[in-house]
Amino acid sequence: DAGVIQSPRHEVTEMGQEVTLRCKPISGHNSLFWYRQTMMRGLELLIYFNNNVPIDDSGMPEDRFSAKMPNASFSTLKIQPSEPRDSAVYFCASSGGGLRNGKLFFGSGTQLSVL
């Protein structure tokens, strides 16, 4: 099992540019999460999908952020336009078979730097 796969690993862009982060969850997992990690706030939940449907996007900071899950094996997080304060590590995580077992499987993250 390859685990949760995220791309790119690193992204450096200029303010105002569009950024797209990608995630392939573990096959068979029906829950997918996007988190953002910053020093000040730790890991913040941005959006949660269940069976490809967005259930909770209350953590998406602004309209500049959008996320899609067109099928069970792929999700994207888009920032348009990007700003320097969006610089952070973005993690995708997936889970299957019940969330109370704590089994969130995280990808390796995308380190985003907006100059």
Partner 1 sequence: DQQVKQNSPSLSVQEGRISILNCDYTNSMFDYFLWYKKYPAEGPTFLISISSIKDKNEDGRFTVFLNKSAKHLSLHIVPSQPGDSAVYFCACLSGTYKYIFGTGTRLKVLA
Could you list the residues that contact partner 1 (CB under 8 A)?
A: 4, 31, 35, 39-45, 48, 50, 55-56, 91, 93, 99-109
Q: Which residue has the tokens 């959008």?
A: 66
Cis peptide leading into residue 8 (ω within 30°): yes
What are the distances in angstroms from CA 4 to CA 31, 52, 102?
12, 16, 16
- Say whether 99 sits in a helix, a strand or coil: helix
The separation between CA 1 and the C-alpha centre of its own chain, rounded to angstroms, equals: 20
Q: Which is nearer to partner 1, 19 or 23 (CB)?
A: 23
Rounded least distance, CB 15 to partner 1, Å: 25
Q: Which is nearer to partner 1, 58 or 71 (CB)?
A: 58
Rounded least distance, CB 13 to partner 1, Å: 20
Q: Which is nearer to partner 1, 9 or 15 (CB)?
A: 9
